[in-house]
Structure 1
Amino acid sequence: MAEVAIRTENLSVSFAGFRAVDGVDLSVEAGTIHALIGPNGAGKTTCFNLITKFIRPSSGRIWLGEQDITALEPDAVARLGMVRSFQISAVFPGLSVLENVRVALQPTLGVTFQFWRSNRILRRLDDQAMALLDRVGMAAVAGERAADLSYGRKRVLEIATTLALDPSVLLLDEPMAGMGAEDVAMVANLIREVGRNRTILMVEHNLSVVADLSDRITVLQRGQILAEGSYAEVSSDRRVIEAYMGEEVTDA
């Protein structure tokens, strides 16, 4: 039986009487790339925020491996090995690429995000930071300001900062949002590479990327699971087609 990295049971949340996520039972196998998709308003990001503990569920449970994390705070979950990105790039624009990664690596020195620490101390992280930048193909721009990077490169830098925490489970919230075709290909290749030795759960609108990267797909509609399976299975499911096209599919 496959090892499960993330599991939810009857996961639900309501806002002012509106059921945004309704009884979601999700299971993400360890070592796979699992996509969470659905039409606008399906509850994907809300479900994502519940799993990563940025929203507290109204009911249900969440497990990371064998550990029940339902009552934990986001920082505690991150220390257990589950780290997330956001829809909007979350890098420090005034810092260099190298400095951004050094900030993310500070916990390895026993401190967390202390900008006032001396350069002499932080330079101890340079080799580790450069190795990480080389891994994501950004070593050549280590000295550039993050603000001067293309949007796609900023997303790559953000993934590099999440990898600095060496997570076993990485959650990516719309990693391709707002990108051109060249940047999409670059980030897709990076996700495929970093997914070789960890579990990835991603929310993504670009269905060609989902088809290319995902081992398994969960489709949400109105806060509930509509379908699950491979891309071939869910893309041929008439319920999924109706949800995306907004019309009933009939046999020819």
Structure 2
Amino acid sequence: MTNDCILQTQKLSKEFKGFVAVDRVDLSVRRGSIHALIGPNGAGKTTCFNLLTKFIRPSSGVILFNGVDITGDAPAQIARRGIIRSFQISAVFPHLSVLENVRVALQRKMGTSFCFWQAESTLHKLNDRALELLAAVDLESYAHTITVELSYGRKRALEIATTLAMDPELMLLDEPTQGMGLEDVDRIRQLIKKVAANRTVLMVEHNMSVVSSIADTITVLQRGATLAEGPYAEVSKNPAVIEAYMGSADTELVGAH
């Protein structure tokens, strides 16, 4: 494994009672890049993510992070190593304020989230860092807003802030723009590009306009196996990829900008 490769899988596979969901996938994620995992519905993208974060265990194959074999690690060990999956590990509490949500995430990083007997004043020292994180996702002006009042896109931005509070080295984004209108999609697209400036991002994403505009490398999965890999300009012209997407209702590959 080379130094510029932060995450690598070797022949990663997952079988469920005879059904092969992930089939000998070799994945190489370059440090400091945005890497997108795409494919038609049922291609194995989410299963692949679940294998990387150890929500499920692989049937066979190896996962390397910074050159270390993490195949046998538990989910908590994975998180401690700096692999944080947004929208699943991040906790957003609807009836806390936006600032309080980020503060809770900072406490989790410090390992003090369950010290409920601490005086609230001891938490104020976290406010400066929480406000910095909110500024990073353009939510500083919403710091004292109750989270349930945020728009869907801004809730997603808050989830990214709580993920950033965990100080990830590798950030896994699971369909970050799903269910969003155009304005929110564009906000999240810009946000991902911004937070990826000093970390690595691996994302599953259906929206091809997002993928084509921000991903450095794209891996296309089909029926659990790698169909193609490379920059968008190259992958989008691959005849096998075009064929895989023909008639797929969830996305359109050709003609996306």
Q: TM-score range by the shorter chain?
A: over 0.9
**Identity %, equivalent residues:** 61
The residue aligned with 2:39 is 38
TM-score, structure 1 length as denominator?
0.93
Give the secondary-structure state (helix, strand or coil) at the position aligned to 2:241: helix
Alignment partners' CA distance in 1, 2:193 and 2:160: 12
8 Å contact from structure 1 (residues 23, 224) kept in 2: yes
1:32-82 deviation per Cα after TM superposition (whole angstroms, max 9, x unaligned): 000000000000000011011111001111011111110111111111111
Query: Letter of the aligned partner of 2:132 in structure 1?
Result: A
Query: Letter of the aligned partner of 1:161 in structure 2?
Result: T
The residue aligned with 2:255 is none
8 Å contact from structure 2 (residues 87, 159) kept in 1: no
The residue aligned with 1:196 is 197
Structure 1 residues 1-252: aligned runs within 5 Å = 3-86=4-87, 90-114=91-115, 117-246=118-247
1:107-147 deviation per Cα after TM superposition (whole angstroms, max 9, x unaligned): 45442355554311222211111111112110100011111
Alignment partners' CA distance in 2, 1:115 and 1:240: 52
Distance 1:220 1:179, change over 3 A: same
Distance 1:88 1:122, change over 3 A: closer
1:121-174 deviation per Cα after TM superposition (whole angstroms, max 9, x unaligned): 222211111111112110100011111100000000000000001111100000
Alignment partners' CA distance in 2, 1:245 and 1:118: 59
Distance 1:124 1:89, change over 3 A: closer
8 Å contact from structure 1 (residues 89, 155) kept in 2: no
Alignment partners' CA distance in 2, 1:116 and 1:5: 39
Give the secondary-structure state (helix, strand or coil) at the position aligned to 1:98: helix
8 Å contact from structure 1 (residues 37, 220) kept in 2: yes
TM-score, structure 2 length as denominator?
0.92
Give the CA deviation at 1:246.
4.2
Alignment partners' CA distance in 2, 1:107 and 1:89: 10
8 Å contact from structure 2 (residues 91, 162) kept in 1: no
Alignment partners' CA distance in 2, 1:10 and 1:204: 23
8 Å contact from structure 2 (residues 90, 163) kept in 1: no
8 Å contact from structure 1 (residues 12, 24) kept in 2: yes
Query: Letter of the aligned partner of 2:146 in structure 1?
Result: R
Alignment partners' CA distance in 2, 1:115 and 1:243: 52
Alignment partners' CA distance in 1, 2:97 and 2:159: 13
Moved more, 25-34 or 71-80: 71-80
Count of equivalent residues: 247
Give the secondary-structure state (helix, strand or coil) at the position aligned to 2:145: coil
Query: Letter of the aligned partner of 2:246 in structure 1?
Result: M
